[in-house]
Each structure stands twice: as structure tokens, then as C-alpha cells.
Amino acid sequence: MKHRTALFIALLVVWVGAGCTTRITQALHTPESALHDPVADVYLISNINGSPFGEDGKGYIARIAPDGEILVEKWIDGETADTTLNAPKGMAIVGDVLWVADVNVVRRFDRESGAPRGEVAIEGASFLNDVAAGPDGTVYVSDSGFGPGFTPTGSDAIYAIRGEEVQAVLKSADLGQPNGVLYVDDTLYFVTWATGELRRVTSDGGHELVAKLPAAQLDGLVRAGNSFLVSSWEGKAIYRVMPDRSVRTVAEELDGPADIGYDAERDRLLVPWFNLDRLDVRSN
């Protein structure tokens, strides 16, 4: 009975247009990123649980079922003796390893057990933010170039990790503070916080504009069908970038829509509300 009561409190289902949204309001503290693990069929939510710049060991990752049941609140817990996790943000899965951006290192955990499996430090990084996986197992991570108070540090970059080797794909103070990254169709895409753009990395090592969005402070980036979905703090919105590069607004009045995730099996968008400690699971 106690478990059922907690679950009832944690879930609120609201109808939005023709679809519905499941709103999860328990077990989350400064949720930053959402990821669907299609093998285990669970949602992983990274929780900063404090300052996004902090190295206080309070970060954790929650494990939630697609029906909204909270399976394990602190599945990976930075406050346990054998685990280091400070301010976890973007996540990606490669094989049996979960990769997590954490301030200036990318940490690895066992996909099934959550046990620590090492880390890769990124020299000179100030704010590692999102993580994406390439088809060959390469892991890409963005450095948004934020310092305390979100002041620019000029460390803007996107790095590629192959094994233990780290290489800068792009590194320049004029990248516009890259945030969300995504590898799809043999191309690496990223969105920018400062300039509000969706861009892609070109074969010659440069980058080019795909679409200018209605507002800046872009965070999460996912592919849904033949379009991209992008979250914007400034716009308090989710935007859809169509194949013809036109942009539509699909959700509004969001408070701190952070690094969104996508459940392709159910065509659901996972929206962490950074400022309100909640997760919306929206029918796309």
C-alpha cells in the first residue's frame, strides 16, 4: 500500500490536444537529461541535485519505467562510497556502457548494474554538457564553455572519445556555446546556447548552419522520424525542425526544458523540467 501511494503521488496524467502527458514529480532533483535505454526499456534521468558546476558528489541517476513507476530513485548515486558523480548531465549508451558528462570528465557505468567502469578526463574543459554515440562506438561530448554564473570561458568545443583517446572535433570560442549533440545519418549535429542555431559538422572539419531557431539557449536535441526536436530555455519551448529546415513550435510555457530524450518505440518525448524537479513524458 505504501508503494502504491507513492506511485500515485508521483504521477499526474494530463491531456494535451490529441495526446497526453505523464508528469513525474517525485524522485527528481534538478533533472538535466533524459535517455531511453531500449534494451532494458527504462528511462534514465540524470539529476544534478545541486549546482551544475559543483563537485559535491550529490549527483545521481534515476531509473524509471515507461509507465512512470520509479524503479530506483538513485540507481547510480554519487553519495555512495564506490561511486563518483557530481553534476551529471547528458548521457549516451555504447554497447554495455553508459557514458555520462560530469563537469570536466565523462564517466562510464555498467549499463545493467550501474557499477562504475572508469572515466575519461577532458583537459581544459569547463562545462561538459551533452553526450552522443556514433555507430562505430565513438562517443561525442560538448563543452558549452560555461563558468560559474554561466559566464563564458571560451572553452567551447566538441570532443570525440575513442577508447581512452580524446580528440577535438571542433574547438573555438566562436562556436556559440554548443550544448545538445546528436549523431545521425553519418553526421554529427549540435545546437548552440548563445546563438540559437542547429548546426552540423562538415566532412572538411568545419560546421554549417542547418536552421536558425526562434529563440536561443538551446539545450536538448533528438531525432524523431524525419525531423529534429530541440528544447529552448529562452523560448520556454520545444521546436521541431522539419526536413525543409522550417521550424514549428510543438510545446510552450516550459520552465527550464533541459536535455530532452526520445522513446522511439512509443514515439514519446521525455522533457526534464530543470527548474521544477519534474519529468514530462509527452506523446509526440
Q: Tell me the CATH number at 159.
A: 2.130.10.10
Residue 117 reports pLDDT greater than 80: yes
Q: CA-CA distance, 234 to 194, in Å (whole number)?
A: 10
Helix, strand, or coil (residue 194) = coil
Cβ-based neighbours of 22, under 8 Å, separated by 6 or more = 11, 12, 13, 68, 280, 281
Q: CA-CA distance, 75 to 98, in Å (whole number)?
A: 12
Predicted structure pTM score:
0.93
pLDDT score, position 12: 52
Q: CA-CA distance, 171 to 140, in Å (whole number)?
A: 13
pLDDT score, position 31: 98
* 284: confidence class by pLDDT, cuts 50, 70, 90: confident
- Is 228 in contact with 220 (CB distance < 8 Å)? no
pLDDT above 90 as % of the chain: 91
Q: CA-CA distance, 120 to 211, in Å (whole number)?
A: 32
Residue 2 reports pLDDT greater than 70: no
Q: How confident is the model over 118-151, as pLDDT tens digits?
A: 999 999 999 999 999 999 999 999 999 999 999 9
Mean pLDDT of 71-86: 97
- Is 275 in contact with 255 (CB distance < 8 Å)? yes
Residue 14 reports pLDDT greater than 80: no
Q: How many domains does the chain have?
A: 1
Cα 189 to Cα 63, 130, 198, 220, 222, distances in angstroms? 27, 12, 7, 11, 10
How is residue 261 written as a grid cell? Answer: 530524450
Distance linking the first and last C-alpha atoms of the chain: 33
Q: What is the extent of the structural domain holding 16?
A: 2-283
How is residue 223 written as a grid cell? Answer: 531525432
Cα 33 to Cα 9, 66, 89, 100, 221, distances in angstroms? 22, 16, 6, 10, 11
Residue 100 reports pLDDT greater than 70: yes
Sheet order of strands, 31-37 included:
31-37, 42-47, 60-64, 70-77
Mean pLDDT rounded to a whole number for the chain: 93
- Is 52 in contact with 92 (CB distance < 8 Å)? no
| Of 145, 104, 137, 109, residue with least CA distance to 121 | 104
The alpha carbon of 23 is separated from its chain's Cα centroid by a whole number of angstroms, namely 18
Q: Where are the beta strands (DSSP E) in 163-274?
A: 165-171, 178-184, 187-192, 197-201, 207-212, 218-224, 227-232, 237-241, 247-251, 261-263, 268-273
Cα 264 to Cα 25, 35, 200, 226, 267, distances in angstroms? 23, 11, 22, 12, 5
* 13: confidence class by pLDDT, cuts 50, 70, 90: very low
